[in-house]
């Protein structure tokens, strides 16, 4: 944990940011862990909340890069995204899963004592574990309560289609730490890219 990401690190294509975030450490009030799964969403992407332009819900995604975009999912869950690209573009990275490492007691309590594997393995679970809520919408990620620390070494990253969407279902903008036991779902075999572990 040596390099804290700043807003300029997010001024890039969402897919590149999404891949680069695998292995990074995300903390909210000191609680969190290693990011093991992300998805990219862009403006000209029918699956994105930004598709069709600016609305009251998605306005944070059109704000400065390196801020949070928080949305309510299925009326139940709060999901966390990192805003990407230049201000006004409309792009983001959904944080889909963490390997919980910091503040485990707090996380377990918020997650009702569920098993370790189920604490942060899904976007709604991440939201609950880190106590994400609407007041964080638009909040800069390089200021408290957020901290995002860069991954320290190149890691094996799996790539595949995004989950739970009905449009652009084939776009391979889901990224995951290869072999992690904390993914929301496994990746198809052979969906690897970047450095891979020796067989």
What is the nearest approach in angstroms of DNA to the Cβ of residue 165? 5
Tell me how far, at minimum, the Cβ of 32 lies from DNA, in Å. 15
Q: How far is the CB of 77 from DNA (least distance, A)?
A: 5
70 lies in the site for DNA, by CB under 7 A: no
Stretch that binds DNA, among 17-25, 41-49, 144-152, 173-181 (CB under 7 A): 41-49
Give whichever of 76 and 153 is closer to DNA, judged by the CB atom.
Answer: 76
Judged by CB under 7 A, how many residues of this single chain contact DNA?
38
By CB under 7 A, tell whether 55 contacts DNA: yes
What are the b/e assignments for 45-71, b being 16+ CB within 10 Å?
A: bebbbbbeeeeeebebbbbbbbbbbbb
Q: How far is the CB of 93 from DNA (least distance, A)?
A: 8
Q: Which of 5, 28, 81, 176 binds DNA (CB under 7 A)?
A: 81
| Shortest Cβ 121–DNA spacing (Å) | 7
Residues engaged in binding DNA (CB under 7 A): 39, 41, 47-50, 52, 55-58, 61, 69, 71-77, 79, 81, 92, 94, 111, 114, 118, 122-126, 162-166, 184
């Amino acid at each position: 944990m040596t390099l804290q990401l700043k807003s300029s690190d997010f001024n890039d294509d969402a897919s590149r940011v999404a891949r680069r975030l695998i292995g990074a450490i995300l903390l909210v009030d000191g609680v969190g862990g290693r990011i093991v799964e992300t998805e990219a969403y862009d403006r000209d992407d029918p699956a994105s909340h930004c598709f069709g332009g600016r609305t009251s819900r998605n306005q944070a995604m059109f704000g400065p890069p390196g801020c949070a975009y928080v949305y309510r999912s299925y009326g139940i869950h709060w999901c966390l995204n990192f805003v990407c690209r230049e201000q006004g573009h409309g792009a983001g990275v959904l944080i889909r899963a963490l390997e919980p490492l910091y503040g485990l007691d707090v996380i377990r309590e918020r997650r009702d004592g569920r098993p370790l594997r189920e604490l942060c393995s899904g976007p709604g679970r991440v939201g609950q574990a880190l106590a994400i809520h609407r007041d964080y919408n638009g909040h800069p990620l390089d200021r408290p309560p957020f901290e995002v620390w860069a991954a320290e070494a190149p890691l094996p990253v799996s790539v595949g289609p995004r989950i739970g969407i009905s449009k652009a279902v084939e776009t391979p903008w889901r990224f995951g730490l290869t072999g992690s036991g904390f993914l929301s779902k496994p990746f198809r075999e052979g969906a690897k890219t970047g450095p891979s572990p020796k067989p």
